[in-house]
């Protein structure tokens, strides 16, 4: 059975094709800027422009025709309304008489991560708009901790934008951080299992504007601080749930320093650590197709409206 999955929650328009558990194609094109951030309507325009060529690339890569596809899946939420609508409409156009299934983007990150061999992990999901510590318990992926304000990737992107770097800023900050030497004390905001980043971002912008510190030292300190917060709550979730595996997801999880810090934490508590390949960490269509097929086989009920604020813990996980 073949499922074609469409991702369009935010900056990335992607199409993945999955046959049973094999990923046949994972093609995408992401909205970027050289300066300035991501404007929802511009993102939607980007997605409309690239949709057909990404579809053709994916079909060519998988060496199939659209007629060979059995099920169409699309990312239904959470995400930016205009971007979600482009993906949903494209899915409706492709599906004709084929079954159509709406997928929760965050749950898709979790499920595809299990290709690494993780069986029952705590997921540290660190992406642009989302930052959550998630684990499966009693029929749902429960959120044990999360950001109370913005996603960690947005924090990195916002600081990057402030210092004149374009979108996405995370990789550029990571480069600058390599040359930072001084650890500047920044607000460290962990409340129970939750985190927030607003105060840290403001402080970093002030330090930069007042030329009190170099941008390399600020980027280094920013990364050290926000990643330490994430590792602390991930570790607490592992202790609380008594789970022995940590899995990473989300674009920020491509960061080598975050990976290193997680690895040390797992080693210290004798836990296994799983990092999916970069192509499955970032937003992409393969995860939508992958979960689409699982949900289709499990006969999960679905609708076609977009769900911009759909939370991970609202999904009934009936396939496990
Ligand atoms: P996602 O929304 O999961 O596709 O992730 C996108 C986010 O990941 C953006 O905020 C990027 O700035 C961030 N990102 C991508 N690569 C890295 C990296 N190496 N280090 C830190 N952040 C990154
Ligand atoms: Mg994501």
Helices (H), 63-184: 81-95, 105-113, 152-162, 170-177
Q: What pLDDT score does 166 carry?
A: 87
In eight-state DSSP terms, residue 112 is H
Task: Give me the torsion for CA of 206, 217, 158, 209, rounded to 10°.
Answer: 30
CATH number of the domain that residue 13 is part of = 3.30.420.40
Six token digits for residue 46: 């980007």
Q: Are residues 127 and 265 in the same domain?
A: yes
| CA gyration radius, the chain | 19
Question: Which run of H or of E encompasses 2?
Answer: strand 2-7
Q: Are residues 269 and 290 in the same domain?
A: no
Q: Are residues 271 and 286 in the same domain?
A: no
Question: What residue owns the CA closest to ligand 1's atom 1?
Answer: 251
Closest of 112, 106, 124, 131 to residue 307, by C-alpha: 106
Q: Are residues 68 and 146 in the same domain?
A: no
Q: Are residues 86 and 187 in the same domain?
A: no
d(CA 117, CA 91): 30
320 occurs within a structural domain = no
Six token digits for residue 92: 């409706």
How far is ligand 1, taken at its centre, from the CA of residue 93, in Å? 30
- Strands 245-249, 2-7: parallel, antiparallel or unpaired by DSSP? unpaired
Q: pLDDT digits over 164-208, tens only?
A: 998 899 999 999 999 999 999 999 999 999 999 999 999 999 999
- Residue to probe by mutation, ligand 1, list 252, 280, 288, most atoms within 8 Å of CB: 252
How far is ligand 1, taken at its centre, from the CA of residue 181, in Å? 23
Q: Are residues 162 and 220 in the same domain?
A: yes
- By residue range, what is the domain housing residue 210? 120-277
Q: Which atom of ligand 1 is nearest to the CA of 254?
A: 19
Q: Are residues 287 and 272 in the same domain?
A: no
CA-to-CA separations, 26 to 16, 76, 110, 281, in angstroms, rounded: 4, 18, 17, 12
- Residue to probe by mutation, ligand 1, list 28, 110, 171, 177, most atoms within 8 Å of CB: 171
Interior/surface letters 165-180, b for 16+ CB within 10 angstroms, e for the rest = bebbbbebbbebbeeb
Q: pLDDT digits over 250-301, tens only?
A: 999 999 999 999 999 999 999 999 999 999 999 999 999 999 999 999 999 9
Question: Given CA atoms 180, 183, 187, 191 in this order, what sign does their dihedral have?
Answer: positive
Q: What pLDDT score does 161 carry?
A: 94
Question: What residue owns the CA closest to ligand 1's atom 20?
Answer: 255
- Residue to probe by mutation, ligand 1, list 153, 157, 222, 230, most atoms within 8 Å of CB: 153
Q: Is the CB of 237 inside a 6 Å radius of any atom of ligand 1?
A: no
Q: Are residues 89 and 178 in the same domain?
A: no
Q: Is the CB of 171 inside a 6 Å radius of any atom of ligand 1?
A: yes
Q: Is the CB of 10 inside a 6 Å radius of any atom of ligand 1?
A: yes
Q: Are residues 238 and 191 in the same domain?
A: yes
* Number of domains forming the structure of the chain: 2
Closest of 153, 151, 114, 152 to residue 136, by C-alpha: 114
Backbone angles phi, psi at 135, to 5 degrees: -150, 155
Interior/surface letters 27-42, b for 16+ CB within 10 angstroms, e for the rest = bbbbbebeeeebeeee
Can you tell me which residue has the tokens 């689409």?
292
How far is ligand 2, taken at its centre, from the CA of residue 70, in Å? 25
Q: pLDDT digits over 19-70, tens only?
A: 988 999 999 999 998 887 789 999 999 999 999 999 999 999 999 999 999 9
């Amino acid at each position: 059975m073949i499922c074609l999955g469409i991702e369009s929650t935010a900056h990335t328009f992607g199409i993945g094709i999955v046959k049973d558990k094999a990923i046949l194609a994972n093609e995408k094109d992401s909205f970027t800027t050289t300066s300035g951030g991501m404007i929802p309507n511009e993102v939607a325009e980007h997605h409309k422009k690239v949709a057909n060529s990404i579809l053709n690339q994916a079909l060519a890569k998988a060496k199939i025709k659209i007629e060979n596809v059995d099920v169409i899946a699309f990312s239904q939420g959470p995400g930016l309304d205009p971007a979600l609508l482009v993906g949903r409409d494209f899915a409706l156009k492709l599906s004709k008489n084929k079954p159509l299934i709406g997928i929760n983007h965050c749950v898709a990150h979790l499920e595809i991560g299990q290709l690494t061999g993780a069986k029952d992990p705590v997921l540290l999901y660190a992406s642009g708009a989302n930052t959550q510590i998630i684990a499966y318990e009693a029929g749902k992926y429960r959120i044990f901790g999360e950001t109370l304000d913005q996603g960690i990737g947005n924090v990195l992107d916002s600081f990057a934008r402030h210092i004149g770097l374009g979108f996405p800023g995370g990789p550029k900050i990571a480069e600058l951080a390599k040359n930072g030497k001084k650890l500047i004390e920044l607000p460290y905001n962990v409340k129970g299992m939750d985190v927030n980043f607003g105060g840290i971002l403001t402080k970093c912008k002030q330090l930069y504007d007042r030329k009190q510190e170099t941008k390399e030292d600020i980027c280094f300190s920013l990364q050290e601080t926000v990643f330490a917060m994430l590792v602390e709550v991930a570790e607490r979730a592992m202790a609380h749930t008594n789970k022995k595996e940590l899995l990473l997801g989300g674009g920020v999880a491509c960061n080598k320093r975050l990976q290193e810090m997680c690895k040390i934490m797992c080693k210290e508590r004798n836990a296994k650590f799983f990092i999916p390949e970069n192509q499955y960490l970032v937003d992409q269509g393969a995860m939508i197709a992958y979960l689409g097929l699982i949900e289709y086989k499990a006969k999960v009920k679905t609708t076609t409206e977009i769900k911009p604020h759909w939370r991970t813990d609202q999904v009934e996980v009936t396939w496990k």
